[in-house]
Structure 1
Amino acid sequence: MSQIIIIVNQYYPLLSRYARRMVGDKFAAEDIATQVLEQCWELSSLWQQPKQLRTHLQSATRIQCHKWLLNQALQIRKQKPATNNQ
């Protein structure tokens, strides 16, 4: 079994649950976990150091969740009509 498959099997459930707790949306959380693992694929040097890998994956997931939440807030803000409180 290739190393990336082992990493995905080990970390995808953890990352998707972590992301779901942060964003409250199952499908967005799954997308975030997938994006983070795709980034991991590109940074294969992390695979050799499990402690650094876990830390990197958790940090990257948290950052992606914050980006998703910010994007959602901006979308809501754009949809609200402008009001003048004078």
Structure 2
Amino acid sequence: MKIENPTSFSFAMLRCKLFGHYFKVSKDVTDHLHEYKCEHCGLEMTDTANGFWARLTPKFKETNEFIAKIHQRRKRRLLNKVS
């Protein structure tokens, strides 16, 4: 459930403001880098390089996709060497 207009009233947004967000992992980018999404209001967050969370902007999405591609290539290369 993505909120299109941030000024509109929503019980999900009110619930998150009162009790906090309920984040679940929505995508595993690597073994240690994840994207999270709030179950109630749809807010998306990601891990940053310094260990904090930041809002998932288009720039972070692009960066995470690039990191995921590099990670997959390295895993494949490592599996081919072991085999």
Which category of TM-score, normalised to the shorter sequence, fits these structures? Answer: 0.3 to 0.5
Task: State the TM-score, normalized to the length of structure 1.
Answer: 0.43
Task: State the TM-score, normalized to the length of structure 2.
Answer: 0.45
Q: Which has the higher contact order (CA 8 A, sep 6+)?
A: 1
Greater strand share, structure number = 2
